[in-house]
Structure 1
């Protein structure tokens, strides 16, 4: 009886072990490649074909699927010391936005193994050269005012260099985050900005004064032209007409008891006196 129990235990153990082995093989026979990634089949340690997101079978033990992130990556190195025309000792804090080139996972696995090593071997190596070749053409005083143009030039230069070395990266964009100036240069830039603001304010004030003066001249010229036109239009007939108009206004205001003489004794206007009725 004890012998039979022992045999059953052994058989049960073997069955369980067999199920574990079968389960392990079954689970290792497929893999799910996630969205936002790209896989590469590895067979006997060698990179094979590209595997897109989805459910995929693989040969247990002998084969594997390595996945690489295809979403946007950011490479943010320490500030880089840059040359300028004055050799002023300025540093540039810049970051690079990039992603792995679609379909490049076999090449990435063979040459770099990981995306971090890819960035170190390509972007990290080429970025300082691209920055230095561009910033050396500018005086330090133009670095901030021409920031957008400098960023675009560095971006173009970096893309060309990465293309020359056949780096499997795409959608490369450079972001100039900050220029780090020595204290003396920072003060000089601040003084220049303040002077430019004062100059601009003085120019605006000059334009305002000039506009007011031109307006006054225009007004004076207009009044002079009006006076000249009025003086040439006055004639004896016009004066007589104005006198009659004044007399008519006085008559219209009469209340029926109009004196013959008014004011300082000079006759202003003579009105016929009403005749008394019999």
Structure 2
């Protein structure tokens, strides 16, 4: 059975089909390049024939002229820059400092930053500024103070860096001195000093303990002497006589009424009369 073909379809030429396909592809390509999206935490800037436009784009989908405009995205989230710096302390000790700086781009000034500095602003502005300021600050402090007063040193670096980067619309959020590295000789001297301080502290504690124990013994002796003195004040002739009577009474209670026939010495005298007259 022969299928009849629509005459209109027979009239369509192959060249026309190719033209239609090309037109559809062109529309798809144009449509795909007519829109762009700005990621969250970024702002966008139009770039037309190499010229940057100060019209800032917020996160989302935006229209652009295909093949003529591009959109540059600027990260406005907090970013970390880490730098190693070699310098000398005030007492000429070599010191290597590892610094981590958290910074962000002021989104309202993203155009000025990109137009004047460019996308490589971290290598052009941030790292050199950190290097210079860390060297400047560490040169003000002796090596030991860099260790013991780290918060003060970090605060001074942060203050100077904030002023420097503020000129380029960069915001310093936080700065951390990750590590100070000194020479082996200096590390050994610090260790020896700490050992000496610990020994001195131990000796001081031992001396305090001995002093406290001595004071305790003196206080105990004074208390015993005072107790003995008070006891002596309590001893009166009447008390002595009373004690003698108590002793004689106890002896009389134990006596069976018979005097010993043989004695090896003087017979203890018991004043029976005084007992019977009570």
Q: How does 1:1-278 map to 2 (within 5 A)?
A: 8-44=13-49, 45-77=51-83, 79-114=84-119, 117-163=120-166, 166-239=167-240, 259=256, 266=268
SS for the counterpart of 1:160 is helix
CA deviation profile, 1:206-243 (whole Å, cap 9, x unmatched): 22222222222222222222222222233234445666
1:172-192 Cα offsets, whole Å, 9 max, x none, are 422212222222222222222
Deviations 1:5-54 (A, max 9, x none): 79533222222222222122222222222222222233442222222222
Taking the aligned partners of 1:30 and 1:269, their CA distance within structure 2 comes to: 134
CA RMSD of aligned residues (A): 3.2
Bigger radius of gyration among the two: 2
Give the gaps of 5 or more residues in structure 2: 260-264
8 Å CA contact 1:261, 1:267 repeated in 2: no
Aligned mates of 2:108, 2:19 — CA distance in 1: 45
Q: How many corresponding residue pairs?
A: 259
Distance verdict in 2 for CA 1:131–1:240, change over 3 Å: farther
Q: Cα deviation per residue 1:93-151 (whole Å; 9 max; x = unaligned)?
A: 2222211123232123212331xx21122222222222122212222232222222212
TM-score, L = length of structure 1: 0.78
- List gaps (5 residues or longer) in structure 1: 273-278
CA distance in 1, matches of 2:79, 2:232: 85
Cα offsets for 1:53-92 (capped at 9, x unmatched): 2232333333332212222212122x31212222222222
Question: In structure 2, what is the Cα distance between the partners aligned to 1:162 and 1:171?
Answer: 7
Decide whether the 8 Å contact of 1:261 with 1:268 is kept in 2. Answer: no
